[in-house]
A and B are shown apart, each in its own frame.
Chain A
Amino acid sequence: MIEQRAAGGPILRLERVSKVFQMGEVAVEAVRDVSLEIYEGEMLVMVGPSGSGKTTILNILGGLDTVTSGRVWYRDQELTTFSPSELTRYRRETVGFVFQFYNLVPNLSARENVMVATELSPRPMDVDESLQLVGLQERLDHFPSQLSGGEQQRVAVARALAKNPEILLCDEPTGALDYVTGKRVLRLLVDLKGQLGKTIVLITHNGAIAPVADRVVRLRSGQVVEVRTNPEPGAPEEIVW
């Protein structure tokens, strides 16, 4: 089992991480020498334009991708030394993903999409409860094609939550949503941090979202250009973009 630690310390740590993609004959350095600590229970927002390496960092943190050089730590375990099956277990038990385009399985209902996650987890939440948490108790048996974008994203959040992970990794969760719905999803994430004490890493190209974070990391061309702490994070309702 992955060991739990007292709140407040770093839960994830990147140590001089680089990632190079080979695109045909050109090598693209998506992440360059990034070092970063993510603390337990915080909401960290990474902001940067497309191509700044934020998705790559998120994928590395989630055990979806490997590094070219450098080391990644989850608590005191080095992720970069994990075998594929250890990585699978890490993804299964420790992290939950929310994607920009929701990535729901089209031919499964909302409830079933959440069950896809709970059937895997050793200590899952109740499926209906997790959907209730995201305010979808009325639409349990609807299929993705019958749900609006905001609703689909809320199913995706419920799916990520239902495994009861320590860390939620959100890839542009509001990217495909309209203004109002986007804010509603942000509110949901902020509440989850407060109520359930989850660590949340959110990446976005939309700098306006930054005020809701505990800390904001700015990326450009695969490098960290600024790390800023918000002493008093704002409410999602107050932000404008």
Chain B
Amino acid sequence: MSVLDRKLARELVAARWLILAIILIIGVGVTCYVGMGSAYLNLTEAKARYYRRCRMADFWVELKKVPVAELDRLADLPGVAEIRPRIQFYSTVDVEGVEEPLNGLILSLPDRRRPIVNGVVIRRGSYFTGRRQNEVILNDAFARRHRLGPGQWVRLVLNNRRQELFIVGTAISSEFVYLLGPGSIVPDPEHFGVFYLKQSFAQEVFDFEGAANQVVGRLSPHARRRPREVLRRIEDRLAPYGVLHTAPLSDQPSNKYLSQEIAGLRSFGMIMPMIFLAVAALVLNVLLTRLAEQQRIVVGTLKALGYADSQVFGHFLKFGLAVGLAGGVLGCAGGYGTAEGMTYVYRFFFEFPRLENRFHSALQLSGLAISLLFAVLGSLRGAWSVLKLRPAEAMRPRPPKRGGRVFLERARWFWNRLSADWRMVLRDVVRSRVRTAAGVFAAMMGASVLVCGFMMMEATAYLVDFQFQWLLRSDLDVAFRHKRGEAALWEMRRMPGVDWAEPTLHVPCTFRHGPYEKKGAITGLAPGARLTVPRDRDANPIRVPPAGLAMSRTLAEILHLRRGDLLTIQPIEGLRRTRQVQVVQIADSYLGTIVYADIRWLSRLVGEELALTGVQTVIDPRPEKRRLLYRELKELPSLEAVTTRDDMVQSLKETLVATMWIFTGVFVAFAGIVFFGSVLNASLISLAERRREVATLRVLGYGPWRIGSLLLRESLIVTMIGTVLGMPVGYLYAELAAAAYESEMFRFPVVSSAGTWIWTLVLAVLFALAAYLVVQRNVHRMDWLEALQAKE
């Protein structure tokens, strides 16, 4: 180790608290980079492996019913590589020991195992055997949650008949990495499961001999780039059979949620580290500039001794590099740990055959390189000042610091009212431009991270409230397999424990406006419905028009429609008559692309007086009443799904809110490090620069607390300015985050309450105070007599 390196090592040790603060900020930045980057790679790799293994489909087509022979011919279409027709139905499920009816998605699989599109991975038990027809394979999460396994029985209502099914195995599939039940936004394996039946058995029980109602398929690599073109051709070919819905892989819900999470990790994994590393570089810049200033004479002496400029430059740069290296190593380790934690959380949401946290060496190295790069950037100004310092100049006394008035003093009225203490504080804040700028920037970034974190938490709470307390207000919804008349509503109203019931009608349609076309559905509501209350942007209720549509903003944007515009709708089922209708209202919803209409108007549109496909209810909360209702509902074969909304909202809140608390906690901790580190640095440097001044003040009779209060006031001014400036930046981040996660299925609200702003201010002050305590300790320990005697 050269002597200069020894000097460096001792300087690092001497400045350890200042350095530690910077190391932590760099560490946080690299932790974000490596952590999110690793989580990104973990998910991306797991997804690719899983999709390959299950031969993940490139498109999904849902139909009413179509002969398999017709579907086989689809494979001749250019771009289509492989297809698999299958049967898909929703059903209620009766699990032994569970009071409420559960929901299931029924899918057919070949009787014998062979490689297929959207295959399954068996977790427990086996694939179908030749022993029974009524065998079933359960999705693993549902089975685990209900302690079901091979050898047990489960009861499903299939085509209006209750069927006992024998469980042969449990499985997972790449199309259900993120398995969503009807109307939910988080997986709920407690209430929703997937049930795979033998193809032959499904054909038999659903009267689908030689027919199917869904096609999944794979495209040629070339066609994969433009799946919608192929889908259009498929749709044209199958039009006579009533195409309900088509989706390329990019629109498939599970894939979409997974891909969005991955994309979010990627963008946040870039933005977040940059914020912290930029702050670290600025703080380091202040520290190193101060160090270079302090060592003018040493620099001059070294140069006089014959050290080349580059050697002295390198010596100062090494200071920054050492800090960067330490921060980088800390961040790499922290990033690995963070990725471990994130991967652990992801396992609750995403079901993979194997999702593990790997050590990504290239990423780790790049994390280290980035921290070094920012450290060098932060050191450059200080090291540069050393580089250009001529030795003779270095030996001469430093030109006196600029004194004189600061701009604030021009406001005489204001300035004359200030005490001497405040004048000192304000002059120093204004004169130490770079230090003040660094402090303001750090506080800005810290505040923006806090605001963004709080706003995301508020958005989540708002989303759940909007969707499940203001928009959808029922306790329990039932969906019928087929269209029913008014009698079905009366039937529901007579059920035990049902206090109130309202009909809904779901009509799948194609919407067309000029060149824009979209498949979707219209939901018919009773006039003045209380259980579904469409809302506008400010969550105020809007009236469903007696004629025409109230369309969700998302769909209106897709179709380029505004209030008052006309569009063409064509029901996919029934008579399929095309109609021109008007968009009377724009409604806001954060989930899906919903369109509301008056139920009688909609019924007439499909040629009926009053039709309904579902009933929403308010039910008696008493358990014994509920039990009775559940028992009755389980006996109703005509039901496709029963959704107990209060349970769902409860579990949704628990999951989302718990997750958000963790993330917000991390945000707060990270922001705290930024605030604490930058304030600590600025104050300690200010104290070191003003040793002589402080000593003089002590001689004049200032106590240590009063001197500390000067520094505290400086920190608070800088922190407050930065925090206030950082708030809109945080708001912007939240908007960017919402935009990044926005899709047809899901929108993230941008909301902020007073709490966000108040908490951000309070925390900023608390973090600054925490740093001040360390500074105050230094003031108390300072040997001011020595400072008075020492020559500058």
Q: Write out the residue numbers on chain A whose beta carbons fall within 8 Å of the beta carbon of B762.
A: none
User: Contact between B3 and A115 (Cβ–Cβ < 8 Å)?
Assistant: yes
Please give the distance in Å from B295's CB to the nearest CB on chain A: 9
User: Contact between A99 and B395 (Cβ–Cβ < 8 Å)?
Assistant: yes
Interface size on A, residues (CB 8 A): 30
Q: Write out the residue numbers on chain B whose beta carbons fall within 8 Å of the beta carbon of A97.
A: 301, 304-305
User: Contact between A92 and B306 (Cβ–Cβ < 8 Å)?
Assistant: yes
A65-B390, A103-B297 known; A108-B3 Cβ under 8 A: yes
In the complex, B392 has a CB within 8 A of chain A: yes
In the complex, A186 has a CB within 8 A of chain B: no
User: Contact between B301 and A103 (Cβ–Cβ < 8 Å)?
Assistant: yes
Give complex CA distance A159, B304 in Å.
12
A103-B300, A105-B298 known; A91-B2 Cβ under 8 A: no
In the complex, A54 has a CB within 8 A of chain B: no
A115-B3, A116-B302 known; A64-B390 Cβ under 8 A: yes
In the complex, B11 has a CB within 8 A of chain A: yes
Q: Write out the residue numbers on chain B whose beta carbons fall within 8 Å of the beta carbon of A89.
A: 306
Q: Write out the residue numbers on chain B whose beta carbons fall within 8 Å of the beta carbon of A108.
A: 3, 6-7, 10
Q: Write out the residue numbers on chain A whose beta carbons fall within 8 Å of the beta carbon of B331.
A: none
A64-B392, A65-B390, A112-B6 known; A88-B304 Cβ under 8 A: no
A112 interface neighbour in B3, B11, B298, B390, Cβ under 8 Å: B3
Q: Write out the residue numbers on chain A whose beta carbons fall within 8 Å of the beta carbon of B11.
A: 107
In the complex, B735 has a CB within 8 A of chain A: no
User: Contact between A107 and B390 (Cβ–Cβ < 8 Å)?
Assistant: no
User: Contact between B309 and A163 (Cβ–Cβ < 8 Å)?
Assistant: no
Please give the distance in Å from A127's CB to the nearest CB on chain B: 10
In the complex, B785 has a CB within 8 A of chain A: no
B308 interface neighbour in A65, A85, A115, Cβ under 8 Å: A85
In the complex, A209 has a CB within 8 A of chain B: no
In the complex, A151 has a CB within 8 A of chain B: no
A to B contact number (C-beta, < 8 Å): 79
Q: Write out the residue numbers on chain A whose beta carbons fall within 8 Å of the beta carbon of B2.
A: 119
CB-CB contacts below 8 Å: B354-390 with A? 390
Contact with B along A81-113 (1 / 0, CB 8 A): 000110011111100010101010111100010
In the complex, B473 has a CB within 8 A of chain A: no
In the complex, B543 has a CB within 8 A of chain A: no
Interface centre among B10, B14, B306, by most chain A C-beta atoms within 10 angstroms, is B306
In the complex, A20 has a CB within 8 A of chain B: no
CB-CB contacts below 8 Å: A179-236 with B? none
Give complex CA distance A85, B307 in Å.
10
In the complex, A35 has a CB within 8 A of chain B: no
In the complex, B4 has a CB within 8 A of chain A: yes
In the complex, A120 has a CB within 8 A of chain B: yes
In the complex, B391 has a CB within 8 A of chain A: yes
Give complex CA distance A120, B392 in Å.
20
In the complex, B303 has a CB within 8 A of chain A: yes
Give complex CA distance A65, B300 in Å.
11
Q: Which residue of A lies closest to B307 (CB)?
A: A120
Please give the distance in Å from B322's CB to the nearest CB on chain A: 15
Interface centre among B3, B4, B395, by most chain A C-beta atoms within 10 angstroms, is B3
Q: Write out the residue numbers on chain A whose beta carbons fall within 8 Å of the beta carbon of B390.
A: 64-65
Q: Write out the residue numbers on chain A whose beta carbons fall within 8 Å of the beta carbon of B307.
A: 88, 92, 120
Give complex CA distance A187, B309 in Å.
34
In the complex, A117 has a CB within 8 A of chain B: yes
User: Contact between B309 and A84 (Cβ–Cβ < 8 Å)?
Assistant: yes
Interface centre among B7, B303, B309, B392, by most chain A C-beta atoms within 10 angstroms, is B392
In the complex, A62 has a CB within 8 A of chain B: yes
Q: Which residue of A lies closest to B396 (CB)?
A: A55
Q: Write out the residue numbers on chain B whose beta carbons fall within 8 Å of the beta carbon of A107.
A: 7, 10-11, 14
A91 interface neighbour in B3, B14, B305, B791, Cβ under 8 Å: B305
Q: Which residue of B lies closest to A116 (CB)?
A: B3
Give complex CA distance A108, B391 in Å.
20
Give complex CA distance A62, B305 in Å.
10
Please give the distance in Å from B290's CB to the nearest CB on chain A: 16
Contact with A along B600-629 (1 / 0, CB 8 A): 000000000000000000000000000000
CB-CB contacts below 8 Å: A155-177 with B? 159, 163
In the complex, A69 has a CB within 8 A of chain B: no
Contact with B along A110-154 (1 / 0, CB 8 A): 001001110111000000000000000000000000000000000
Q: Which residue of A lies closest to B298 (CB)?
A: A105
A92 interface neighbour in B297, B305, B791, Cβ under 8 Å: B305
B residues at A contact (CB < 8 Å): 2-4, 6-7, 10-11, 14, 297-298, 300-309, 390-392, 395, 791
Can you sample 27 A-B contacts with CB below 8 Å? A59-B391, A59-B395, A64-B300, A64-B390, A64-B391, A84-B309, A85-B308, A88-B306, A88-B309, A89-B306, A90-B306, A91-B306, A91-B391, A93-B306, A103-B297, A103-B395, A105-B301, A107-B7, A107-B10, A108-B6, A108-B7, A116-B3, A116-B302, A116-B305, A117-B305, A120-B306, A163-B306
**Beyond A107-B11, A108-B6, 11 extra complex contacts between A and B, CB < 8 Å:** A56-B392, A64-B300, A65-B391, A88-B303, A88-B307, A91-B306, A93-B306, A103-B304, A115-B3, A121-B306, A163-B305
Q: Which 3 A-B pairs have the closest CB atoms?
A: A92-B306, A65-B392, A103-B301
